[in-house]
Structure 1
Amino acid sequence: MTYSALCRATAAVAVAAVLLPACATRPANTAPATASSATAPANQFALDSTLRRIATLQDERRTSALLPYLGHAEARYRQAAAEALASVQDKAATPRLLLLLQEDDAPRVRQLAAYALGQSADSTAETGLYQQLPHETDAATRHYVLEALGRCTSRAGLPSLTKLPPALATDTAALSGQAWGLYRAGLRGLTSEAAVARLVQLLAAPNTTSARLAAANALARTRGLNLAPYTAALTTAARHDRHYAVRAGAAQALAKAAADPSVPATLAALARRDPDYRVRLSALRAMSGPMFAPVKEAAWAALTDENAQVALTAAEFFLANAANEPGPTLLEKAQALPEWRVRATLLAAALRQPGAGREAIRGAVQERYTAATDAYEKSYLLKALGEDPAAFDFVREATFAPGHALVVGTYGMEALIAQRRLADFPAARQPDFALTLRQAVLGGDVAQLGLAAEAIRDPKLNLRRLLPNTDFLVAARAKLVLPRDLEAWQSLQQTIDFLRGAKPTPVPVARAASHPIPWDVVMALPAAPHAVVRTSKGNVVLRLLLNEAPGSVASFVQLVGEGFYDGKNFHRVVPNFVAQGGCPRGDGWGSTDYNLRSEFADLHYGEGAVGLASAGKDTESCQWFITHSPTPHLDGRYTIFAQVIEGMDVVSRLEIGDRIDKVELVK
């Protein structure tokens, strides 16, 4: 996820909640041990040329060459081939994977066959998965089958996933798998009253941690639910569950029960009192405009929470929900806050309020911008000014000022676009805005031109009449370098297609031949390579998952050896989601001159999982992120290549602009 791709995912992050304590293969009945507690295997690629061959075929996306390994006499090669096909995601492999699931003697092979079928999201696998379930003798495999069904099932098949066969009614593996299956189906928009009722049952305390985690996350993330009838069960889980992630997910789900008059008080109490900052944060995110009055005092108090992520979330609550609040009051409160990001967000909320005092607030923000020395603080102050069309000229001048940090220009462009989207943006300034977008495209900065192109094709902004000619967009596209500038290229091409009324152009994803796995690097690594990320807030120790993601780990190791990450910043921190760094530009739009192929091993995003950012499958490069808490909606979509084993307390304190002093490999 590069800058704009991850930003577009931020709305979904608000309900990112619960999975497991660390990235790991998920067992059937309980949450697994963290990666730090697991015994590290040997470097399998240094010992086995056949495994290197299978990984190479995965990297090259060669389905036909992988299929014969599914029938290999050695179970480890059948496992490797099935897991490789989970990354390739070619539906041509579905018949062979179904046969493997039904006939293989090794449970682990059957589990990975089910995992690969789920990754393919092939609806034609639905019948075979359901047929296997009553015959499956291994508990863990039943879990995998049910979760895969959630990725593959049709709406017609959902009732079968909602109601297990009587023989599985007390099978804890099946109950956990059912919960995760319903979660995966919910992400696809497949749900029903019966499914919701079943998830509420699975949320109850007697069920396993895994089942409760999945149920809480499903209820929090599935769209369009009315959970008011289940307020009592959600409240019990949010207040009393022993696992913080279940409490956080249940708190987030209470947003969908807002019609119940007891919900605001429950959320206010959680925001004030829960011992885990992630639960307090989730309670704040569940608060909405209609409940503003009863939760307002709790949100005020949260602005000074000891955890900066909670304080920022409280400021975001006021930005999103405060209406007709006195702007000068918000200004006064903002000026007293010590954290610059919290302060800037509350200043944005002050600017959003109607009535007297807006000019004074604007002046205070502009004064802070002029005085600020940190590029990220200046950027956030421009973001705040995005709430006020009267600041258009100030923001435009700052955006295109020579010599500024790249991140300032990126945030400035976003602020200009945000101003144009406001209802009170003056009609007389619309031509000026269009010319500003043209200036951004012709300027050649990949972030500014990518954002400008996105705005030009937004039908709500109606810019086709002011910028009907695509020549300047085509000229800018010709200057980009692929795959380094892929995201900017995508944005320009989509806009060109939009203005011309043409069909969308396929994305030019780099092939494996352009950057193959460097096996000499992989084979030289120890069995359990570790890296220390030395930051301005303290050290974070990573265990690199070499066997699961050899290409990604090798790239990271090579960049570390070059000192690539030294002196970079964490350019993006979303509370209770990710801290992201590694961008050479410092704004999320930077990359290397090569792409990697996605490596989707049987791993899951838990707390402290380290993933590679991308702009889509097979577009990974140098940026990486660390999760604050479980984020299962990323599973199978973003490569996991490492796990934090020390320093999660440091990760929880990281803020935008914090420095990566150095990354070092350690034995």
Structure 2
Amino acid sequence: MKAAGALLAVLLLAAPQGQPARSQKATTPQGLRLAALMEADSLADPQRLLNYANGGDPAVQGVAIRALGNRRDRSLTRLLLPFLQASDERVRDEAVGAVVQSLKGEPLPGDPELVPAVERLLMSAASPLASWALGHLPYTTAEEVKTAERFLADGGHPPLADGLEALARRNPKLVSFDPETIDRLAAVVKREAPGAWYASLGALLAAHALDADTAKAAVEFTARKPEEDEDAAEVRRLATTALSGGAAPLSAVERSSAITRLLGDPWYTVRYEAVRAYARREAASRGCQPLVDVIRDTSLHVALAALDALGQSCPTDDAITDRLVAESRTPPPIGSWHREAHAFVALAKRAPERAVISMPAFRQHTVWQVRMYAARAAEAMKDVPTLQILAQDSTDNVVEAALGPLRKLDPAAADTPGPKLVPPLADALARVTKENKDTSRDTRLALIDAIRAHAQKGDTTALTALLKDYDGVVATAAAAAIRSLTGEAVRPAPVPKPRPSIGPVTPVHAIVRMKSGGWFGLDLGFDRAPLAAARFVRLAESHYYDGLSFHRVVSNFVIQGGSPGANEYAGDRDYMRDEMGVARNTRGSVGVSTRGANTGDAQLYINLVTNQRLDGDFTIFATVAGARDAMSVVDQIAEGDEILRIEIIR
């Protein structure tokens, strides 16, 4: 500890000094916390946040420390290090996450020892989360990685598997676990030693260090107590992915037997991976009947996986083709359309000539998602006329699904560059800009790029006003386009617009009611992501989410929803601020979907399984309440299922 203290003193000597006096406007803890949140939301001068970080109230300090970390600026790392040794546990934990986030910034010139120094300080930190942080540091040498590994696998305690898993996954070219580390992780999976089962197996897989005995133990992993069911299923699921990818060193007979058994696992998450493993590893030699058998699985995730797999498995089996023809009946206008649409795409890949007769019914269907799947089928069939029809669809998502393959199959359909296109592009840019939405950024960047490509040299009429746009990214893009068209260097001068009000930050709960009749609760994390939680509450109470859908369902990953356009691009008008920390993407956790730093648009995602690879990269603001029972409702949500309303319980 003395060595760590001396190191900290040296680091602090290099930290920027001098901080302005604290504002006297807010004096109560609640007022100070709200003031700190407002500073965080406005991306204020870091020095102002440091005032709050150095205050005496842990809740206020936590807000400021988290906000400083989310600047992703290594010049702030040294200022955050003292908080690793704060007396309050909440402050220490926030500092752990903030230090990791700050190190995502660009390396500082002349400071190669920063990461090794942080590594040593984390090893002496009192926070139990320091082990997680050690796995997420941006290491550059094998020596740094080995130092972290040996600390995390120290024989004096169970291996800190979450840190080891991240260490191996994030540093594949630098990591090479010691035999002792591998043995200790394997002992956890075999239940010969205490520790985290799932993370230990994940660490072995990430390090390519899974042996046959441990693999067998993992695929047969069962709960000894009812409360262990879900955790045990997660271990089997991860082991099944290893069977599919070849990371489990089992004999062909052992692998085949394990996959067959796992097709009947009580947990759908395991069966889903078993379907994928069978299609990849077994279908060619054993036939596709097991895949046909699970088409009627009680889980839609599993059934759709089987239908998708049959699009390319056992291609010479006419009975399989006949079955897909039967499954490709016209979907009903109301209700689930998923089995029929997936079967139709599979048929289009497998036997395009037999899909032709059904195409008119799919491309003219009243449900736009069915027409979107028709575009995917048309791509597989190389059906240019259908793609041309769907490229004129009234729903943007169908148009997008058709245009990409249409341009590949019919290059003549692509736009021909020319100045005649500039006026309509400029009109569209002006119209979208007038909406004053942060979340129009992607659309406006695409329009700026198109204008640059089509405009005559020197014609910057549509771009000049954007130099003072409210979005600095758009202003910078406009400046670059003007420079390209004129050869003159111009400087963007963005004028940020006022931020929306934060709203109450008192803890509440939410109930998400689906139009299907099911519902699930959410415990909102006002302690770990108050800005995101407050935005969610404000939007829910204004009925923003009513009628919106979960437009993206990725089995054994996430469901995503809350977009007015039912796509990745449309969301609430104002971007949200990142609040990443040490919250994990465990099964049932709820995060903010983003497309870059500080681009949350109120779309949310729910983790269907534990997704460690997302940790530290997304704001987690809620957890599905009563996770084991409530998650059964979430597990049944299908692509396009709509939210009836979200109720806030105070």
Q: Is the structural similarity TM-score above 0.5? A: yes
Q: Residue 561 of structure 1 aligns with which residue?
A: 541
Quick one: distance in 2 between partners of 1:610 and 1:522? 20
Provide the residue aligned with 1:659 in structure 2.
Answer: 642
| Counterpart residue number, 1:480 | 432
Q: Distance in 1 between matches of 2:145 and 2:36?
A: 35
Alpha-carbon distance in structure 2 between the residues aligned to 1:278 and 1:46: 48
- Give the drift of 1:563: 2.0
C-alpha spacing 1:264/1:393, structure 2 compared with 1 (3 Å)? farther
Aligned CA distance change for structure 1 residues 608 and 539 (closer, same or farther; 3 Å): same
Counterpart CA distance in 2 for 1:128 and 1:210 is 28
Question: Scaled by the length of structure 1, what TM-score is found?
Answer: 0.74
The 2-side partners of 1:329 and 1:160 are apart by: 59
> Which structure has the greater CA radius of gyration?
2
1:206 and 2:200 correspond: no
User: Which residue of 1 is the match for residue 485 of structure 2?
Assistant: none
> What SS does the aligned partner of 2:563 have?
coil
Among 149, 157, 168, which residue is 1:171 paired with? 157
Q: Which amino acid aligns with 1:621?
A: D
* 1:58-97 equivalent positions in 2, closer than 5 A: 58-61=40-43, 62-97=45-80
Kindly indicate whether residue 343 of structure 2 is the aligned counterpart of residue 346 of structure 1.
Answer: yes
Structure 2 letter corresponding to 1:480: V
Does the aligned pair in 2 maintain the 1:537–1:650 contact within 8 Å? no
Q: Which of 209, 215, 218 in structure 2 is aligned with 1:237?
A: 218
| Within-5 A mapping of 1:368-387 | 368-370=362-364, 372-387=365-380
Mapped pair 1:126 → 2:118: no
Does the aligned pair in 2 maintain the 1:287–1:317 contact within 8 Å? no
Q: Does the 8 Å contact 2:513/2:519 carry over to 1?
A: yes
Q: Could you say if the C-alpha distance between residues 547 and 99 of structure 1 is closer, same or farther in structure 2, counting changes exceeding 3 Å?
A: closer
- Deviation of 1:248 after TM superposition, in Å, equals 1.1
Matched-pair contact (CA < 8 Å) for 1:399–1:410: no
| SS in structure 2 at match of 1:610 | strand
- CA deviation digits over 1:258-277, x for unaligned, max 9? 67524641553254221111
How far, CA to CA, are the matches of 1:119 and 1:579 in structure 2? Answer: 25
Contact 2:348–2:354 (CA under 8 A) maintained in structure 1:
no
Q: Distance in 2 between matches of 1:488 and 1:480?
A: 8
C-alpha distance after superposition, 1:586-611 (max 9, x if no partner): 34432232211122243222222222
**Contact 2:624 2:631 (C-alpha < 8 Å) held by counterparts:** yes
Do 1:180 and 1:215's aligned partners in 2 also have CA atoms closer than 8 Å?
Answer: no
How far apart are the structure 1 equivalents of 2:180 and 2:244? 17
| AA of the residue aligned to 1:648 | M
**What is the SS of the residue equivalent to 2:648?**
strand
Q: Write the mapping of 1:429-578 to structure 2, written as runs, cut at 5 A.
A: 429-432=410-413, 434=414, 438=415, 467=417, 472=422, 475=426, 476-481=428-433, 482-492=437-447, 507-508=473-474, 514=497, 516=499, 518-519=501-502, 521-522=503-504, 525=506, 527-578=507-558
Cα distance in 2 between the residues matched to 1:601 and 1:536: 34
Equivalent residue for 1:306?
Answer: 298
Contact 2:164 2:203 survives alignment (8 Å):
no
Q: Residue 216 of structure 1 corresponds to which residue in structure 2?
A: 201
The letter of the residue matching 1:216 is: L
Instruction: Give the equivalent residue in structure 1 for 2:81.
Output: 98
Match of 2:147 in 1: 160
Structure 1 residues 557 and 375 mapped into 2: Cα distance closer, same or farther (>3 Å)?
Answer: same
1:507 aligned counterpart, secondary structure:
helix
For residues 586 and 45 of structure 1, the distance between their equivalents in structure 2, rounded to whole angstroms, comes to 44
The equivalent residue for 2:490 is: none
Deviations along 1:261-307, one digit per CA (max 9) or x if unpaired, are: 24641553254221111111123334564543246333222222110
**Alpha-carbon contact 1:151-1:185 (below 8 Å) kept:** no
Residues 473-520 of structure 1: CA distance to partner in whole angstroms, max 9, x if unpaired?
9635454334232222344556778999xxxx983499996453624x
Letter in 2 for 1:644: V
Aligned partners of 1:150 and 1:182 also within 8 Å = no
CA distance in 1, matches of 2:378, 2:592: 32
Q: Displacement, 1:58?
A: 2.1
Query: Among 231, 250, 254, which residue is 2:243 paired with?
Result: 254
| 1:322-401 equivalence runs, <5 A | 323=315, 326=318, 328-329=321-322, 331-332=324-325, 334-335=327-328, 340-353=337-350, 358-370=352-364, 372-389=365-382, 391-401=383-393
1:114 aligns with 2:96: yes
Q: CA deviation at 1:218?
A: 4.6
1:334 and 1:582, CA in 2 relative to 1: closer, same or farther beyond 3 A? Answer: same
1:645 is aligned to 625
The answer as to whether partners of 2:123 and 2:130 remain within 8 angstroms in 1 is no
TM-superposed deviation, 1:579: 2.4
| 2:597 alignment partner, SS class | coil
Following the alignment from structure 1 to structure 2, what is the Cα–Cα distance between the partners of residues 239 and 469? 65
CA distance in 1, matches of 2:540, 2:220: 44
Match of residue 443 from structure 1:
none
Q: Deviations over 1:394-442 (max 9, x none)?
A: 23213314xx3x2xx4234324423655xxx4xxx3213x1xxx3xxxx
Letter in 1 for 2:83: L
User: How far 1:387 sits from its partner (Å)?
Assistant: 0.9
Given that 1:158 and 1:190 are in contact with CA atoms closer than 8 Å, whether structure 2 keeps it comes out as no
Q: Does 1:183 align with 2:166?
A: yes
> Structure 1 residue aligned with 2:268, among 264, 277, 302?
277
Structure 1 residue 618: Cα displacement? 0.9
Mapped partners of 1:415, 1:182: distance in 2:
40
Q: What's the RMSD between the two structures over aligned residues?
A: 3.7
Q: Matches of 2:27 and 2:372 in 1, distance apart?
A: 45
CA contact (8 A) 2:550 2:559 kept: yes
Aligned-partner Cα distance in 2 for 1:266–1:147:
39
Q: Secondary structure at the match of 1:584?
A: coil
* Secondary structure of the structure 1 residue equivalent to 2:602: coil
- What secondary structure sits across from 2:551 in the alignment? strand
The one of the two structures with greater contact order (alpha-carbon pairs below 8 A, sep at least 6) is 1
Q: Which amino acid aligns with 2:304?
A: L
Cα separation, 2, equivalents of 1:419 and 1:345: 21
User: Closer, same or farther in 2 for the Cα pair 1:369/1:471, shift >3 Å?
Assistant: closer
Question: Could you list the runs of 5+ residues in structure 2 that have no partner in the other structure?
Answer: 1-25, 108-112, 224-231, 456-470, 477-493
In structure 1, distance between residues paired with 2:300 and 2:179:
34
Residues 547-568 of structure 1 show CA distances to partners (whole Å, capped at 9, x for unaligned) of: 3323222322222232222222
How many pairs align?
558
TM-score scaled to structure 2, two decimals? 0.75
Distance in 2, Cα, partners of 1:411 & 1:125:
49
Q: Which amino acid aligns with 2:379?
A: G
Do the aligned residues in 1 keep the contact of 2:512 with 2:643 (CA within 8 Å)?
A: no
Query: Does the C-alpha gap of structure 1 residues 316 and 70 become closer, same or farther in structure 2, counting only changes over 3 Å?
Result: same
Task: Please tell me whether the aligned partners of residues 310 and 346 of structure 2 are also in contact (alpha carbons under 8 angstroms).
Answer: yes
Q: Which moved more, 1:333-342 or 1:600-609?
A: 333-342
CA distance in 2, matches of 1:189, 1:509: 38
